[in-house]
Amino acid sequence: MSQIFAKIREFMEKQGIPGRDLWALPSSEKKFPDGAHWRIEIAGIERASTMEAMLEEARKRKVTVHRIIGTVGGSTYCDFEELKAIARMANEERIEAVITIGHRKAWDPGAKEAAFSEGAMQGFRHRGSDNICYFIADMMRNIEAGFRAFLIYDEGVLFLVDRMRAEGLISQETIFKFSVFGGYCSAAGAKVIKSLGANSMNPSSDISLPILAGIRKAVDIPLDIYVIVVDSFGGMFRAYEAPEIARVASPCYLKFEPGSSEGEIYKPWVSENWHRDFVKEKVKMASIVEEIMERHAPSLLMSRQGPADLAVPVVA
**Helices of type H across the chain:** 3-14, 48-61, 80-93, 128-145, 155-166, 187-195, 209-218, 242-249, 262-265, 272-296
In a domain, 5, yes or no: no
Residue 51 has a pLDDT of: 98
Amino acid at 229: V
In a domain, 305, yes or no: no
Residue 239 has a pLDDT of: 97
Per residue, the 3-state secondary structure of 154-176, as one string, reads CHHHHHHHHHHHHCCCCCCCCEE
Residue 188 has a pLDDT of: 98
In a domain, 38, yes or no: yes
Residue 111 has a pLDDT of: 66
Query: Could you list the mean pLDDT of each consecutive 10-residue stretch along the chain, which spans 316 residues?
Result: 93 97 98 98 96 98 98 93 98 98 66 68 79 94 98 95 97 96 94 97 96 98 97 93 98 96 86 95 98 98 97 93
Counted domains in the chain: 1
Residue 87 has a pLDDT of: 98
Pairing of strands 38-45, 175-178: unpaired
In a domain, 14, yes or no: no
Q: Are 68 and 54 in contact (CB under 8 A)?
A: yes
Task: Tell me the pLDDT tens digit for each residue of 272-308.
Answer: 999 999 999 999 999 999 999 999 999 999 999 999 9
Q: Does pTM top 0.85 for this prediction?
A: yes
In a domain, 3, yes or no: no
Residue 263 has a pLDDT of: 82
In a domain, 194, yes or no: yes
In a domain, 302, yes or no: no
Residue 125 has a pLDDT of: 82
Residue 107 has a pLDDT of: 55
Burial of 192 (0-12, 13-18, 19+ CB in 10 A): middle
Task: Tell me the pLDDT tens digit for each residue of 134-179.
Answer: 999 999 999 999 999 999 999 999 999 999 999 999 999 999 999 9
Give the CATH number for residue 118: 3.20.20.70
Residue 284 has a pLDDT of: 98
Q: Are 135 and 164 in contact (CB under 8 A)?
A: no
Residue 106 has a pLDDT of: 52
Residue 311 has a pLDDT of: 97
Q: Is the peptide bond before 33 cis (omega within 30 degrees of 0)?
A: no
Residue 105 has a pLDDT of: 54
**Residue 81, CA distances (Å) to 65, 78, 145, 276 in order:** 23, 8, 8, 19
* Structural domain range at position 174: 22-296
Answer left, alpha or beta for residue 27, where phi above 0 means left and psi between -120 and 50 means alpha.
beta
Counting residues of the chain whose pLDDT is more than 70, the rounded percentage is 94
In a domain, 6, yes or no: no
